[in-house]
Chains A and B, each alone.
Chain A
């Protein structure tokens, strides 16, 4: 059965303390691995799409990478405004299937 599993469920970092979020996947015929950010009370916001192992994408303090079994979202020198839930997802049929997310809290 195709699925993505995200870890950890929750992560607390001090401002400036770099870390990585993990999304391990078992998906046959992967048609893209997607990362979204969700702030409380809001809908998810698209961050990145990765299509093949070895691919990397960057945006500000975030860098997403993809291997044949997992994807990482690296956060470098995070700021409090990076606090959010980060979701990974894959295409299944017409729609995205999402993981349960990692809730990130960055404290000053």
Chain B
């Protein structure tokens, strides 16, 4: 597609349930990032993929969070046993440049998945 696509756009779940969020990056973009944005907070880095590998998972807040990427394309972020503090907008971004490269800061973001945990 023309841009980064994320689904669902909105998800309401009950505390303790598992959720999966999907990101379809721009075709040909090898770098993929997940960020989280909470009300009143800045963008918080979660994980970086280069191809199917994740050289930087340092931002995942707990072992309830995991992510994978297959075929160098679609990525899924999974949150197990959701908690109310997981409520946020989860944003995916992709880039044609590898993370950390000069020029690698021009990221293309999707519109996000808004997660509400009741």
Q: Which A positions have Cβ atoms within 8 angstroms of B?
A: 31-32, 34, 41-46, 49, 51, 87, 89, 91, 93-101
Contact = CB atoms under 8 A, between A and B. Distances in A.
A95 B3 CA distance: 20
Contacts of B33: 95-96
Contacts of A34: 105-106
B16 interface: no
B45 A46 contact: no
Given A46-B106, A89-B105, A101 B112 contact: no
Given A94-B56, A101-B42, 4 more contacts: A31-B105, A93-B100, A98-B42, A99-B42
Interface residues of B, number: 28
Nearest to B47: A95
Contact of B43 (A45, A49, A98): A98
Contact of B41 (A44, A49, A100): A100
A43 B109 contact: yes
A101 B42 CA distance: 7
Given A94-B55, A97-B45, A42 B111 contact: yes
